[in-house]
């Protein structure tokens, strides 16, 4: 058990980290407001980006920002708007309001905001329906992604409305139903406790009466993330592999390329349905690079564009297929062998590197403010307290 001083130190560092970025959204606002989309029980805003000459029956991507971020900043830094213009799909950015959460975190663990037809979850579902009806979008190609609290909220949407989504992507997020209270949420972020693998799968199946098929899931995580423990990536994968009927210990394909270690699970038809992408040495945030998006708060220049790679996984970005075919082939680590025993190449790529100074959670708490103030402020910054 950790000492209370250690917990306070981590809370204080988390508060400092979020405070440093709280006002820095950055980027040009290219988004339009979405209005009149329903009863909006979660009191969220809706923002939209539609490329010029959007084709009929285009895909829709729903993008959920992280704490302290807003829709415009996330659209700019992640590169989703740029890619939508290139590939021809619509974007929906649900946006949190400070009245709901002081640090603009989606309320990812609150049952009243994550369950089907309730709160924020229903607001996002209403936005999706409005987008499909207004712009004639393809109901069979609706996808959702998010970072951190937004990633955990994306997991909740995928669980609560699996029939709506063809695929999802969870970046530095947590499994659906892994926490329902503030203490549980903070423990899960640190990788402590939580439901078993079988229980997580049971929770997912119980979130709706959907019999399948199930969305395809892409998972992204940095090894140096000290805000959301990397073990959460495995927990998310285990939750979804269960409904897909696949064994977590046996990946169809595992490979290493630079800082990126990837595991892929395919179904009986050969379709990749779950993938886990681990980036060595990366802290808390979404990886950007490859000429798409721009680095910023919690948007980390890793030389890899998670946005482009996620869109490729979903099958909605073929703009650079020829370039990809000409690129250097990836070094295959192993194929068809238990992923629980990675090869030396995988271990080398996934080895933890020193974290960025901003990710150092071992710093002592400030002298002023008192223990209670430190704890409460940090919980608010993490989206665990209103």
Catalytic site positions: 148
Strand partners, 279: 222, 260
d(CA 253, CA 333): 8
d(CA 37, CA 335): 46
E runs forming strands in the chain: 32-34, 45-49, 60-64, 90-95, 142-147, 167-171, 216-222, 253-257, 260-266, 272-279, 286-288, 299-301, 331-335
* Best CA proximity match to 151, nearest among 207, 88, 212, 227: 227
* Best CA proximity match to 296, nearest among 14, 45, 13, 22: 22
What six digits make up the tokens of 263? Answer: 């595991």
What six digits make up the tokens of 299? Answer: 């948007």
**Sign of torsion over alpha carbons 280, 284, 286, 287:** negative
């Amino acid at each position: 058990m950790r000492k209370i001083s250690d917990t306070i130190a981590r809370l204080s560092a988390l508060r400092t980290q979020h405070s440093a970025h709280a006002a820095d959204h950055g980027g040009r606002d290219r988004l339009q407001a979405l209005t009149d989309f329903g009863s909006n029980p979660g009191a969220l805003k809706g923002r939209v980006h539609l490329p010029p000459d959007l084709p009929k029956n285009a895909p829709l991507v729903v993008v959920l920002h992280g704490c302290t971020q807003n829709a415009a900043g996330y659209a700019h830094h992640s590169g989703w708007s740029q890619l939508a213009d290139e590939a021809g799909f619509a974007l929906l950015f649900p946006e949190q309001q400070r009245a709901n959460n002081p640090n603009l975190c989606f309320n990812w663990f609150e049952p009243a905001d994550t369950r089907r037809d309730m709160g924020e979850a229903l607001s996002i579902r209403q936005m999706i329906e409005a987008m499909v009806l207004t712009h004639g979008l393809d109901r069979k190609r609706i996808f959702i992604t998010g970072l951190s609290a937004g990633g955990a909220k994306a997991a909740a949407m995928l669980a609560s409305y699996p029939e709506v989504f063809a695929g999802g992507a969870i970046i530095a997020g947590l499994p659906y139903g892994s926490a329902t209270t503030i203490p549980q949420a903070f423990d899960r972020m640190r990788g402590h406790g939580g439901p078993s693998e079988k229980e997580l799968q049971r929770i997912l199946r119980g979130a709706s009466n959907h019999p399948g098929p199930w969305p395809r899931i892409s998972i992204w995580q940095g090894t140096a993330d000290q805000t959301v423990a990397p073990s959460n990536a495995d927990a998310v994968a285990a939750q979804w592999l269960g409904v897909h009927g696949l064994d977590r210990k046996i990946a169809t394909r595992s490979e290493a390329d630079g800082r990126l270690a990837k595991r892929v699970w395919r179904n009986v038809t050969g379709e990749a349905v779950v993938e886990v992408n681990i980036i060595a040495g990366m802290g808390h945030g979404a990886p950007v690079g490859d000429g798409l998006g721009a680095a910023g708060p919690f948007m980390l220049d890793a030389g890899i564009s998670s946005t482009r790679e996620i869109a490729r996984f979903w099958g909605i970005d073929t703009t650079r297929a020829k370039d990809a075919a000409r690129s250097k082939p990836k070094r295959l680590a192993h194929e068809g062998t238990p992923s629980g025993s990675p090869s030396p190449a995988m271990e080398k790529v996934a080895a933890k590197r020193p974290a960025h100074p901003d990710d150092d959670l071992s710093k002592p708490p400030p002298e002023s403010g008192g223990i209670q103030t430190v704890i409460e402020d940090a919980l608010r910054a993490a989206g665990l307290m209103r």
